[in-house]
Structure 1
Amino acid sequence: MKIGDTLDMKCRFCGAHEVELFLDLGDQPHCNRLVPPELESVKEPHFPLRVGFCRSCSGVQIDYTIPKENMFSDYPYVSGTTKTLPAHFAETSARLVERYGVARGALVVDIGSNDGTWLKQYAPYGLQTLGVEPASNVAKLANEAGINTWNKFFNEETAAEIVAQHGKAQLITAAGVFFHLEELHSVCRGIKNLLNDDGVFCVQAIYLGGMIENIAFDQVYHEHLCYYTLKSLNFLLNQHGLEVFDVKVVPIHGGSLEAHVGHIGARQISNSVNELAADETAKGLGKIETYQAWAKMVWQLNHDLVDELKKYKAEGRTVYCYGAPAKGATLLNSFKIGSDLVSLAVEKSPLKFGKMIPGVRIPIVDEAQVPRPDAYLVLSWNFIDEFLIKEADYLRSGGEFIVPVPKLRVYSANDIANIEA
């Protein structure tokens, strides 16, 4: 298959057979299926990672679906490992409760609730909270922390069970999960049926506009089936009696779309919706040419980053990965960066210690147990400000951060003052 071909699929948004391939990242393993030591000699399965644009509805998506049960029944990522996310969710919770007058005792349902980090932030408001999380290991963490969590996939059937047991929800949230949904239309029907007449669904999803602006192709992986603009999100929701009535782009994860959604006609449409829609049109987010140009920038980044890492190697300087996030597996495998250029990945999550990044097989170790390298390749670039403050002493001692996105840049001690200011 070559760039410009029509992918053999129905569009996830509209069902048309008009999805044109514009970025092919090759066959890759499931990014979050970290390799344990006992499977070091066994090659993990690889699957096509191709991105297409629907000429009918402008929805951007990948074509190959790894079954959700294989990806999410056990999961190595937990939301509470950085300071940034809990703080972000605390701010968002306070804002939602105040703006919509969510009364004490009202039901809040979080879809893909992970370890309960977002739901914990509602404690001061006396709300009834329920998480729905398919990964048994992180659902267990949430329940142990006192956050009522169902270990299920959210869909139309699960929504009906919630209504039967708890009634309808005044607030439904979904952060970092709406692009994961294999049962996309069933989930939307479930939200429609679960939401109170005047209720609000708040969805936060990595914004395709930000991905284009930041060359953040590493946010493409098999778990992320769909990539949203306001236009494509609203097109999807409208099919199920829902609409975006307010929207903004928030800085989390390098730029996320925060859409406030209600039943069609239930709330007045904010100016922010028309303004962002106009901005998307001006930036060409509904045109295939925009994505074709973006793909060329991805391959230029490939060239520049590999050259930079080869320079460190030629100088005899060590480089480790700073973190082993899912997006890092996409970048490393797409650019074929292995342990010859980056020898280790350091982590703070015990769920990842002793395993290897799939495909490239870079070992993951406890960051506290290894000496510092000359430089870190920062794969979780979306938390770079937090990392610069946390690692100020390392940078002052001569260490460096190689940050590939949004623009290849090497940070040193000279950059600390700008962050602290």
Structure 2
Amino acid sequence: YPKSPKLFKVGLDPAMNIAEEGRAFCDAHAAEYFTKENFFELSDGRKAKVITAIAMFYDLEDPSNFVKDIVDSLKDDGIFIVQLSYTPLMIKQNAFDNMIHEHLQFYTLASLTYLFDKYDLKIVDVQLNDVNAGSFRVISTKRNNNLDASAIFTKDIGQYRINSFLLNEINCGMGELDTFRNFKKQVDKQKKTLMDLLCKLRNQGKKVYGYGASSKGNTLLQYYGITPDLVTAIAERQP
């Protein structure tokens, strides 16, 4: 969103390639990782009304310390919004290519709730969206904050969605090892189907080329063992 005189926006993102864009949209920006020290330096010591973390929470080497810094940086009536890949959808879609080197954790609402509870963050609403083949957006606030009358959500609707997510995770077997063993079986079945097709095309004298999916494509190439004799070349477009 563009700058607004009604808002003071702080941006922290270590990616140098988008630093210029970040400075254009933020009142204060640094190409650094989020810590409470970095945040307060940019905000002149002021706490935040809203903090967002989009498509990066699963990259954290120390998510506990990150959440602690979020709580310390947030006003008592502030909200924290996090959006990340949703593990039940990843498993349902056999999207194993989401498992790349920078994705260190895979969350459900139950596991995220466990983490947030340790730092007195309460989840008040959750929604699904189509980002990255299925993500969930979670709204939370400090435990002593009462947001029941907020325009963003109401207690009953938010709690209904939370309960629905948690029940679905139980029904999907997120707490059972067999769920993940079956996930591997489905991935390997998918591997055989693709490898049989690639070998058939090669034996017919045809050439196969790939396009896009530079990160997830590499997971597929490596786990399936796809070599240049099966896929001749792969192209990518940036941006």
Q: Do they fold alike, i.e. is TM over 0.5? A: yes
CA shift at 1:146, angstroms?
5.1
Structure 1 vs Structure 2 CA RMSD: 2.1
Residues 77-156 of structure 1: pairs in structure 2 closer than 5 A: 121-123=1-3, 126-143=6-23, 145=24, 147=26, 148-156=28-36
Residue deviations 1:227-269, cap 9 Å, x none? 0100001111111111211001111111101101111142345
Residue deviations 1:296-342, cap 9 Å, x none? 11111111111122222223333222214211111111111122222
Q: Residue 252 of structure 1 corresponds to which residue in structure 2?
A: 131
Residue deviations 1:156-197, cap 9 Å, x none? 43344345x151111111111000001211110111011122
Q: Residue 167 of structure 1 corresponds to which residue in structure 2?
A: 46
Distance in 1 (CA, whole Å) between partners of 2:214 and 2:10 is 27
Q: Residue 192 of structure 1 corresponds to which residue in structure 2?
A: 71
Distance in 2 (CA, whole Å) between partners of 1:307 and 1:126 is 59
Q: Residue 151 of structure 2 corresponds to which residue in structure 1?
A: none
Q: Residue 335 of structure 1 corresponds to which residue in structure 2?
A: 224
Q: Residue 309 of structure 1: which of 198, 207, 213 is its match?
A: 198
Residue deviations 1:337-382, cap 9 Å, x none? 12222222222206xxxxxxxxxxxxxxxxxxxxxxxxxxxxxxxx
Percent of residue pairs bearing the same amino acid type: 33
Contact 2:86 2:136 (C-alpha < 8 Å) held by counterparts? yes
Q: Residue 169 of structure 2 corresponds to which residue in structure 1?
A: 280
From the superposition, tell whether residues 222 and 315 of structure 1 become closer, same or farther in structure 2 (CA, over 3 Å): same
Distance in 1 (CA, whole Å) between partners of 2:40 and 2:133 is 35
Residues 248-397 of structure 1: pairs in structure 2 closer than 5 A: 248-266=127-145, 267-268=147-148, 269=155, 270=158, 271-349=160-238
Contact 1:155 1:183 (C-alpha < 8 Å) held by counterparts? no
Q: Residue 181 of structure 1 corresponds to which residue in structure 2?
A: 60
Which 5+ residue runs of structure 2 have no aligned equivalent? 149-154
CA shift at 1:274, angstroms?
1.1
Q: Residue 110 of structure 1 corresponds to which residue in structure 2?
A: none
Q: Residue 206 of structure 1 corresponds to which residue in structure 2?
A: 85
Contact 2:40 2:47 (C-alpha < 8 Å) held by counterparts? no
CA shift at 1:290, angstroms?
0.8
Q: Which amino acid aligns with 1:215?
A: N
Distance in 2 (CA, whole Å) between partners of 1:221 and 1:213 is 18
Contact 1:158 1:190 (C-alpha < 8 Å) held by counterparts? no
Distance in 2 (CA, whole Å) between partners of 1:318 and 1:128 is 54
Residue deviations 1:183-214, cap 9 Å, x none? 21111011101112221111110000111100
Distance in 2 (CA, whole Å) between partners of 1:124 and 1:158 is 22
Number of positions where the alignment pairs a residue of Structure 1 with one of Structure 2: 228
Distance in 1 (CA, whole Å) between partners of 2:94 and 2:127 is 20
From the superposition, tell whether residues 321 and 142 of structure 1 become closer, same or farther in structure 2 (CA, over 3 Å): farther
Secondary structure of 1:128's match?
Answer: coil
From the superposition, tell whether residues 227 and 122 of structure 1 become closer, same or farther in structure 2 (CA, over 3 Å): farther
Residue deviations 1:70-109, cap 9 Å, x none? xxxxxxxxxxxxxxxxxxxxxxxxxxxxxxxxxxxxxxxx
Q: Residue 152 of structure 2 corresponds to which residue in structure 1?
A: none
TM-score scaled by structure 1?
Answer: 0.51
Distance in 2 (CA, whole Å) between partners of 1:136 and 1:248 is 31
Q: Which amino acid aligns with 1:344?
A: A
Q: Residue 217 of structure 1: which of 96, 99, 111 is its match?
A: 96
Residues 6-85 of structure 1: pairs in structure 2 closer than 5 A: none
Distance in 2 (CA, whole Å) between partners of 1:177 and 1:344 is 30
Distance in 2 (CA, whole Å) between partners of 1:141 and 1:186 is 28
Distance in 1 (CA, whole Å) between partners of 2:132 and 2:14 is 22
Distance in 2 (CA, whole Å) between partners of 1:311 and 1:302 is 14
